[in-house]
Structure 1
Amino acid sequence: MSETMNKLNDAAKLAGKGKMSRRDFTQLALASGLTLAAADTMFSRAARAEPKKGGTLRLGLSQGATTDSLDPGLYYDQYTGTCMWGTLSNSLTEVDAKGNAVGDLAESFESSDGAKKWVFKLPKGAVFHNGKDVTAEDVVASYKHHSIAGTKSAAKSLLAPMESIKADGKHTVVITLSGGNADFSYICSDYHLPIMPANKDGTADWSSGVRTGPYSLVKFDPGVKTELTRNPHYFKTGKAWFDDVVGLSIKDTTARTNALNAGEIDYMQSCDLKTLDLLKANPNLVIFEKTGYAHNIYVMDCTSKPLDNPDVRNAIKYSIDRQSVLEKIFLNHGTVGNDNSISPAVKFAVDPMPKHVYDPAMAKSLLKKAGLDSLKIDVSVAETAFTGATDTALIWQESAKACGIEVNVIREPEDSYWDNVWMKKPICATYWSGRPNCDWMFTTAYAKDAAWNDTKWYNTRFNELLVAARVETDEKKRAAMYAEMQQLLHDDGGLINVVFNSFVDAHANTLAHGDTAANWPMDGMKIAERWWFA
């Protein structure tokens, strides 16, 4: 390499650290024989490669409600998940860009006794936002918070197998399960399980908003805006590059798009795929697409009539033209769903048979088996459920006519959707971000007593297998159990999985990042901790 190129590379390193301006770098590059375009590209790459502190990250999020709470057991969506967990808090573990469970607040963890006993070590010197040292007692209080009497925590079912949790000194936590669970370290990464300070009575202090995360809470205006500022005492190095973070609830897709184009936000969650080409044409924007475990769905209440009849549920499943939806609404950004919640990317995933494809003859046959000549159903929708939920329902409405099924599409208010529609109306649009393993997904959404069992589906065999598979260490036997569970959900459940969708967001080209995680949107909802302004 020539001396000139050595100098140019050294200059690029300085530019990456913010110690050389674009103008000075460009002059040196031109003197070295590079074209103006090549010099500009080299500077931009160098500047983006090295994280640097500064700036306010403004997130335009597609969810958020006036009923949002600081109680982590009640975090419903990516708004509270991103602002109150990924930005404000830490769980014991997190899922990395390779899909592995690694330490978040925990410095290390290990299991023994057939994965029944789990030991987590906390880092010395970690403090809460109020300056209080983080101790094992805080972890104990945080976990017990989800099993208090009358709790509606979404993590209750996840922690149901926990027989005991105790502090072993100041920095060691020991959790004992009723049965082995090789995937328990993944469970501990759930965004409903941030570590909170313990009160004097041993309960968790959730109401103050004091946590351990990269940013501390300045203002929380539910359903509107959350403001946070960098935690100067964050225990992780090489993280939290922004000075401040603002999370804005902008549920209308057009409003989010306009805000991004106008430079009012830096990151937009959930693009309108129909106008994606217009965003791509803007040289100041970047489309960020990530394929993971997410699925956009409709759910049927299996306890309401006539949906309590599995033949009726399956007739409905055959009445929606999913391929048409994938092409027209999602513009092929995803894959057709088959009424199984386990993504093909997840270990032990299977594709149950027969496939639930659009089949009017099969739908009519199943209705006849249920003693019905025709059927009318109400389907509740709102774009906060998923972008395209309304248009998807309209395609469904048309395709269902040939099946003897009349689909009445009810457009519900966006602001109150999660409180008044989801888990309350017989059929409604919703979404799941998915989970990185079978046990976690099934335990959260389909176990009998799961707080988020939005289909109200209770299958005895499924629940027996859920417990048995969790403790089975023979992977061949475990795979067979999970395969049967996926088949049961497909055949008998109330899930209508329209598509496994990609996360398709957009952001200003001034934002930079490293490898990104796919377990949740926005880099595992950790965008504020992991990204930076170039």
Structure 2
Amino acid sequence: MDARLGRLDRRSFLKAASALGITAALSLSTANRVFAQTPKKGGHFRIGTGGGSTTDTYDPGTYNNSVLRMIAGSVCNYLMEVDSRGEATPELAESVETVDGLRFIIKLRKGIEFHNGKTFGPEDVIASYNHHRGEGSTSAVKGLMSQITEIKADGPSTVVLSLSAPNADFPAILSDYHLPIFAADGDRIDTSQMVGTGGYTISSNEPGVRAILQRHPNYWREGRGNFDSAEILVVADVVANTNALISGEVDAIEGCDVSTVDLLVKREGIKILEVTGKQYNSMLMFTDVEPFTDNKVRLALKHAIDREAIVKSVLKGYGKVGNDNPITPSYRFYNDQLAQRVYDPDKAKFLLKQAGHDSLEVELSTSAAAFTGAVDVAVLFKEQAAAAGINVSIKREPDDGYWANVWQKKPFIMGSMLGRATADWMFSTSFASDASWNDTHWKNERFNLLLKQARSEVDDTKRKEMYFEMQQIVHDEGGTIVHSLPSLVDAVNDKVQHGPLASNLNLDGNRCIDRWWFA
């Protein structure tokens, strides 16, 4: 088999797909959740979250916070969803079949209606996916979806999707939160509103403030859509969010303040939900803007941060140290042979000297919206970097609009990234040269070549070698300082019930409204 020529036999593809936890024919029965008890209907579920912005829109290509993800995951469904094992399982798809990893036959569930009464069919999938593929598309997943060369209907309940090269990971991509299925409006989707097939409709929405959802009476998923209504409240201040849970103003909060989470542990009637995921916290440098164009400067900054202190002081032990690698230990093909980068101000000074600097002045933009504790990390880094002759000027940015106005706009900022199902997906999202979310403007020819080759390689040994080398390149040359790997920590009152929790995002993959219920 020569993967570069796109030849992949069925046996080889099945071997690769099976190793990823994806079968060639995925049955909806594998996606059914087993609950400890039968879910009950009723109640008004209130969530407090620091996500959400006044700039939010319903355009799925722009989703970049938890409010939009929760709304989309409640009002809409996806062809695939991520389960509690981190695997992609069918949702609106009934099955996904392939012979060669190039051509996927997707059988759709029958008898499902959108909230406007339209029957769900192939045209909705095609319009929803083409929204991210067009020449003028600015979607965050345009790069991921560009591998689709053709998407067409084959009868009333089948979609045939062809790729430019074999990709054993492709079914997992269809679970991305940017890819909800909207009702087709001609050959397009109407992004001024959200018309889906999910358990809820939008009663009202004031971006950056609150959204109220009402249960749709004809939801097709058994055991889902249990609350009568749900309310998502944007509370950027984590202390206020915590107090809202304690006082009973909300039933759940997303992203606990780990500095005070022990106080919640001691509170009667409150449960802490902690899961280990694939997310990471970072500092992002534009590698095409001085002084970050010089890799010696980038390395100096990577050695000027005390990761252990951040995990201890800011995460309070709810996480692990990062190693300038977005592929965390939870991923298949994680490179466990990378030397752990440690705080070494003397080495940072030496690297700066090699780059022609006796000292360095940098401005670091930060906000609580970047991640919980981002401002505290910036303050710590300022103190730590000073020992290396690096003077960090902290720019406290407004929480509202941080991801729209600062991220990918300013050259040195605090950032964070949610986990993805596969290493290829993570790299393709933010590290490929042509990625829409290439938030460090980093370009590396060798990395890009390996990324394409590994995507279609079915020999596990060769594939592992490729991903190991890619992680080494990012670790040594990338513009992302991955300083910590936080656990996902949420809190709920004891009325809230749930099944096994997904670990791809907070609050059960940000689908708590769809999946949970009251006792």
TM-score of the aligned structures, taking structure 2 as reference length: 0.92
AA aligned to 1:57 is F
Q: State the shift of 1:208 in Å.
A: 2.2
Task: Give the counterpart of 2:199 among 208, 214, 217.
Answer: 214
Q: What root-mean-square deviation, in Å, do the aligned CA atoms of Structure 1 and Structure 2 show?
A: 1.2
| 1:528 has 2:510 as partner | no
Cα separation, 2, equivalents of 1:217 and 1:109: 30
SS at match of 1:216: strand
| 1:358 has 2:343 as partner | yes
AA aligned to 1:284 is G
AA aligned to 2:254 is Q
Q: Tell me the equivalent position of 2:179.
A: 193
AA aligned to 1:529 is D
Q: State the shift of 1:273 in Å.
A: 1.2
AA aligned to 1:291 is T
Cα separation, 2, equivalents of 1:77 and 1:208: 18
| 1:415 has 2:400 as partner | yes
Q: Tell me the equivalent position of 1:111.
A: 98
Q: Deviations over 1:267-324 (max 9, x none)?
A: 1111111111211121011111111101111111111101011110010000000101
Whether contact under 8 Å (2:114, 2:195) holds in the other structure is: yes
Q: Tell me the equivalent position of 1:503.
A: 488
AA aligned to 2:438 is N
Runs of 4+ displaced beyond 6 Å:
none
SS at match of 2:267: coil
Q: Tell me the equivalent position of 1:41.
A: none
| 1:55 has 2:47 as partner | no
Cα separation, 2, equivalents of 1:125 and 1:167: 17
Q: Tell me the equivalent position of 2:83.
A: 96
SS at match of 1:491: helix
Cα separation, 2, equivalents of 1:107 and 1:230: 24
Whether contact under 8 Å (1:340, 1:351) holds in the other structure is: no
Q: State the shift of 1:206 in Å.
A: 2.5
Q: Tell me the equivalent position of 1:171.
A: 157
Q: State the shift of 1:50 in Å.
A: 2.9
Flag the structure with larger Rg: 1
Cα separation, 1, equivalents of 2:366 and 2:296: 24
Q: Deviations over 1:51-98 (max 9, x none)?
A: 100001111111111110100000012121112x21111111011111
Whether contact under 8 Å (1:340, 1:352) holds in the other structure is: no
Q: Tell me the equivalent position of 1:31.
A: none
Task: Give the counterpart of 2:219 among 208, 223, 234.
Answer: 234
Task: Give the counterpart of 1:82 among 60, 66, 70.
Answer: 70
Q: Tell me the equivalent position of 1:123.
A: 109
Cα separation, 2, equivalents of 1:212 and 1:382: 35
Tell me the number of residue pairs that the alignment of Structure 1 and Structure 2 aligns: 485
SS at match of 2:278: strand
Alignment of 1:471-486 (within 5 A): 471-486=456-471
Whether contact under 8 Å (2:288, 2:442) holds in the other structure is: yes
Q: Deviations over 1:468-520 (max 9, x none)?
A: 11111111111111111111111110111111110111111100111111111
TM-score of the aligned structures, taking structure 1 as reference length: 0.89
Q: Tell me the equivalent position of 1:132.
A: 118
| 1:378 has 2:366 as partner | no
Task: Give the counterpart of 1:184 among 158, 166, 170.
Answer: 170
SS at match of 2:353: helix
AA aligned to 2:57 is S
Alignment of 1:377-526 (within 5 A): 377-526=362-511
Cα separation, 1, equivalents of 2:338 and 2:181: 42
Q: Tell me the equivalent position of 2:145.
A: 159
Q: Deviations over 1:302-348 (max 9, x none)?
A: 11101011110010000000101110111111110000001101100
AA aligned to 1:106 is A
Task: Give the counterpart of 2:190 among 195, 205, 208.
Answer: 205
Q: Deviations over 1:439-471 (max 9, x none)?
A: 110111111111111111111111111111111
Whether contact under 8 Å (1:352, 1:487) holds in the other structure is: no
SS at match of 1:107: strand
Whether contact under 8 Å (2:36, 2:499) holds in the other structure is: no
SS at match of 2:106: strand
Whether contact under 8 Å (2:255, 2:506) holds in the other structure is: no
Alignment of 1:237-276 (within 5 A): 237-276=222-261
SS at match of 2:277: strand
Q: State the shift of 1:188 in Å.
A: 0.3
Whether contact under 8 Å (2:286, 2:292) holds in the other structure is: yes
Cα separation, 2, equivalents of 1:430 and 1:104: 31
Q: Which moved more, 1:271-280 or 1:322-331?
A: 271-280
SS at match of 2:244: helix
Cα separation, 1, equivalents of 2:467 and 2:426: 11
Cα separation, 2, equivalents of 1:59 and 1:364: 46
SS at match of 2:432: coil
Whether contact under 8 Å (1:295, 1:341) holds in the other structure is: yes
Whether contact under 8 Å (1:338, 1:351) holds in the other structure is: no
Q: Tell me the equivalent position of 1:299.
A: 284
SS at match of 1:261: helix
Cα separation, 2, equivalents of 1:433 and 1:309: 28
Cα separation, 2, equivalents of 1:355 and 1:304: 27
Whether contact under 8 Å (1:352, 1:490) holds in the other structure is: no
Q: Deviations over 1:393-450 (max 9, x none)?
A: 1111111111111111111111121122111111111111111210110111111111
SS at match of 2:132: helix
Q: Tell me the equivalent position of 2:24.
A: none
Q: Deviations over 1:163-207 (max 9, x none)?
A: 10001111100110000110101100001001111122x112222
Q: State the shift of 1:149 in Å.
A: 3.2
Cα separation, 1, equivalents of 2:69 and 2:242: 21
Q: State the shift of 1:49 in Å.
A: 3.0
| 1:70 has 2:58 as partner | yes
Task: Give the counterpart of 2:129 among 143, 153, 169.
Answer: 143
Whether contact under 8 Å (1:48, 1:512) holds in the other structure is: no
SS at match of 2:340: coil
